[in-house]
A and B are shown apart, each in its own frame.
Chain A
Amino acid sequence: MALAHAIEIPAEPSNRVRAGALSFNAVAGTRESALQLPIRPPFNLSPGSLPPNTPDPSELFELLAKWDGPYAGGNCLRQQTAAWRLTGAEGAAWLIARSSEETDIELLDRVALTLSEIGQPAIDPILRWVDCSAGSEHLCALFQALAWMDRTQTAESIDAIAAAIDVGLGSDSKDVREKAIAAAGALPYQNAATLLREHIDVERDPTLKALTTQTFRSLGAEC
């Protein structure tokens, strides 16, 4: 399914592109390219394992990487995230595996946004990757996805999510702890309060300690 062509691309060219070198008419992703992904156990997915007529994640990922210029309009972003939702848990697992070696913060941010939009089907793949020690940049994206996920999507997996966040709060990486604090703040009050209260006592970084305190206080405001 040539999903890129189904997504509406605004006709106006991007002013970012210099010397008229415009190129947003196609995506380079192929099903073959997905077979070379750095997929680690316990995942063994390729786009070919998805149900028929599901959007091709490798094509969608190419668009994600170009989430700028003509691909950045609100309507275009909504169409892309809607397409990702159709890929479900398999698409989420593929996306997580594909992005595991990425270090571009903005791209990882889009991965997090996309996973949060996939919602509940993405939770199990996220937790499995948190469990198998992804790199710190990647872990940041996974915790950010949990932080952005709607509570209706996380309700059935709260205990498992809280356990994963607890692991993140104990990370040596300040960046991972920062994102884990954000994810804790998105949990229901009791879970969030427990995690954050304990974390305030042990957080060594002054900025993160202040952030934890602030997140903890904001829980009260939401109740």
Chain B
Amino acid sequence: MWWLIRSVRRSRWTPDGTAPVSREFTQTASADLIPRPIDNGGLSVYQIPDSAEEKLTATLHVVLTRKPETVHFLRIRRDHFQNLPLEIEHEFSPDQHPYLKERHRNIYGITAELSVQIAGNILSQGADVLTITAGEIRTRGVKLLEDREFAAHIAFPNAYRR
């Protein structure tokens, strides 16, 4: 089991070369792990039981809330924050689609200092980034528009009608 962090910048997690990652690089990457006030202080992630579900979850998140774009999701595992004082809560927005509601989690307790530590843990093992292209997002969105249950949740349906 692992968690997908929504929307990271690929460059923050893919250092050039194989030399040990610098403190500065780790600090920059950690910006993707700092909880936003909007999430009530929790880091918003999706909990994924197996690889079969991760791409569908990530794609649904994008199709339902955005227009098509190439997106990068960071995979994190429990050992990335082993022994750190963090709490994982099952929380969701009332307007989320049930599929995403079921998988959405907030990770609480990540301070700026801990975010650097976690980023260091991730980068030291080689960050694992899931990329989904705009073409894949668009293809899925066009199909979901035909499904009334999903179509009602798509915030920008016209973007998938072109």
- List 15 extra interface pairs beyond A16-B42, A107-B36, A175-B10, CB under 8 A: A14-B93, A15-B91, A15-B94, A66-B38, A68-B39, A69-B93, A72-B93, A74-B155, A103-B31, A113-B156, A178-B10, A182-B69, A182-B70, A207-B10, A211-B133
Shortest Cβ distance from B149 into chain A, in angstroms? 13
- Would you give the 0/1 interface string for B4-23, flagging 1 where the beta carbon is closer than 8 Å to chain A? 00111111001000000000
Q: Considering the chains assembled together, what is the distance between the CA atoms of A67 and B156 in angstroms? A: 14
**In the bound complex, do residue A10 and residue B95 qualify as a contact, i.e. CB atoms below 8 Å apart?**
yes
Which residue of the partner chain A has the closest CB to B71?
A109
The answer to whether the Cβ of B131 comes within 8 Å of any Cβ in the partner chain is yes
What is the interface residue range for chain B against chain A? 35 or more
B95 contacts which of A65, A66, A73, A178 (Cβ < 8 Å)? A73
Shortest Cβ distance from B76 into chain A, in angstroms? 16
10 A–B contact pairs at CB < 8 A?
A: A16-B91, A16-B93, A69-B94, A70-B95, A78-B155, A105-B32, A116-B67, A148-B69, A174-B11, A175-B11
Q: Considering the chains assembled together, what is the distance between the CA atoms of A218 and B64 in angstroms? A: 23
Q: Considering the chains assembled together, what is the distance between the CA atoms of A185 and B162 in angstroms? A: 14
Chain A residues with a Cβ under 8 A of chain B: 10, 12-18, 21, 65-70, 72-74, 77-78, 103-107, 109, 113, 116, 137, 140, 144, 147-148, 173-175, 178, 182, 185, 207, 211, 214, 218
Q: Considering the chains assembled together, what is the distance between the CA atoms of A137 and B69 in angstroms? A: 16
Which residue of the partner chain B has the closest CB to A218?
B135
- Most B Cβ at <10 Å: residue of A12, A15, A103, A116: A15
Q: Tell me the number of A-to-B contacts counted with CB atoms below 8 Å.
A: 91
Chain B residues with a Cβ under 8 A of chain A: 6-11, 14, 31-32, 36, 38-40, 42, 65-67, 69-70, 89, 91-96, 106, 131, 133-135, 152-156, 159
Q: A14-B94, A15-B93 are in contact. Are A72 and B40 (CB under 8 A)?
A: no
Which 8 A-B residue pairs are closest in the complex by CB-CB distance?
A73-B95, A12-B94, A174-B11, A148-B67, A74-B155, A77-B155, A69-B93, A105-B7
Chain A contact residues, majority secondary structure: helix
Q: A14-B93, A18-B40, A182-B69 are in contact. Are A106 and B133 (CB under 8 A)?
A: no
**In the bound complex, do residue B70 and residue A211 qualify as a contact, i.e. CB atoms below 8 Å apart?**
yes
**In the bound complex, do residue B40 and residue A105 qualify as a contact, i.e. CB atoms below 8 Å apart?**
no
B65 contacts which of A14, A72, A140, A173 (Cβ < 8 Å)? A72
B66 contacts which of A65, A78, A104, A109 (Cβ < 8 Å)? A109
**In the bound complex, do residue B11 and residue A104 qualify as a contact, i.e. CB atoms below 8 Å apart?**
no
